[in-house]
Amino acid sequence: MADKKRVLIIEDEEAIRNMLAYALTKEGFEVRSAADGADGMRQALASPTDLVLLDLMLPDANGFDLCRTLSVEHKIPIIMITARSEMVDKVLGMELGADDYITKPFDIREVIVRIRAIFRRIDQISETKEARTEKWLRLGPHLSIAREEREVWLREEKIALTHKEYELLLYLAEHSRRVFTRAELLDKVWGFDFPGDTRTVDIHVQRLRKKLDAPHVASIIETVFGVGYRLAAGVKG
């Protein structure tokens, strides 16, 4: 029997926290919960965590800061849950590494579907990785992806990427001769039921370019006008 996926709920509203914990436990997940950011961070790092449901508005912490730390430094997938529905919050959350975004009030069935979609996407990526024998994926003479460690190195420097930035770069690198539309990348990297629009892809490409482009490295991701994106010609070694 497959190991249970471990979900951590960081939510200060007790009724919502308990509802989520009850529903997810019934669905077969291993669930932990925290009522504030400090306890949530402690639990996330104290034992293995496969996904975090994160409320943005916590009594002791900024949800955006927690998202950045958990996603960038610890590569934990994040679903943000918040009462704030402004597009700027959604875009900022995605920029900081959130994998998905749900606005209160929500249907618990939608939360479960989104969680399963993220795990399905991760499993598919893991299967692809296991099917390949290369531990390192070289992108030209200066840039490398360490598959097992899920790390990206530019010369001797490890580059801090969010969970989704890493997955986007890896997907493009593993299909280096193909041009993808923004809609295709949303489907392949985020999942078909992701609620965002194609601007999400543009934001992540821009952030990858900013982090990876350097004087000794050609532009990593190339825009194919009128179509979408691909790994730049000549980058894949």
Same domain, 79 and 152: no
- What range defines the domain where residue 101 resides? 6-125
- 94 and 119 part of one domain: yes
The verdict on whether omega for the bond into residue 105 sits within 30 degrees of 0, i.e. cis, is: yes
Distant-in-sequence, close-in-space partners of 78: CB < 8 Å, separation ≥ 6: 51, 52, 54, 67, 70, 71, 97, 98, 99, 100, 163
Report the alpha-carbon distance of residue 78 to residue 224 in Å, rounded. Answer: 30
Identify the CATH number of the domain in which residue 141 sits.
Answer: 1.10.10.10
Burial class of residue 181, CB neighbours in 10 A (0-12, 13-18, 19+): middle
Q: Assess whether 28 and 118 both reside in one domain.
A: yes
Same-domain status, 140 and 219: yes
pTM of structure: 0.63
Question: Which residues, other chains included, contact 147 with Cβ-Cβ below 8 Å and sequence gap of 6+?
Answer: 129, 132, 134, 135, 136, 137, 170
**100 assigned to some structural domain:** yes
Q: Note whether 158 and 99 are same-domain residues.
A: no
Query: Same structural domain for residues 121 and 13?
Result: yes
Q: Strand ranges (DSSP E) for 86-219?
A: 100-103, 136-139, 143-146, 151-154, 157-159, 180-181
pLDDT digits (tens, 9 = 90+) for 73-86: 888 999 988 776 66
Structure tokens that stand for 200 in this block: 């999400």
pLDDT of res. 126: 62
Q: What percent of the chain has pLDDT over 90?
A: 30
End-of-domain residue from the set 92, 125, 158: 125
Mark whether 121 and 138 lie in a shared domain.
Answer: no
115 shares a domain with 176:
no
Does residue 210 sit in the same domain as residue 106?
Answer: no
User: Could you report the per-residue pLDDT of 114-139, keeping only the tens digit for each?
Assistant: 899 888 877 766 655 554 546 778 87
- As a whole number, mean pLDDT of residues 174-201 equals 79
Looking at 125, 147, 168, the residue that finishes a domain is: 125
| Domain end point (choices 98, 125, 152) | 125
My answer on whether 143 and 114 are in the same domain is no
Question: Total domain count for the chain?
Answer: 2
| Residue 237 resides in a domain | no
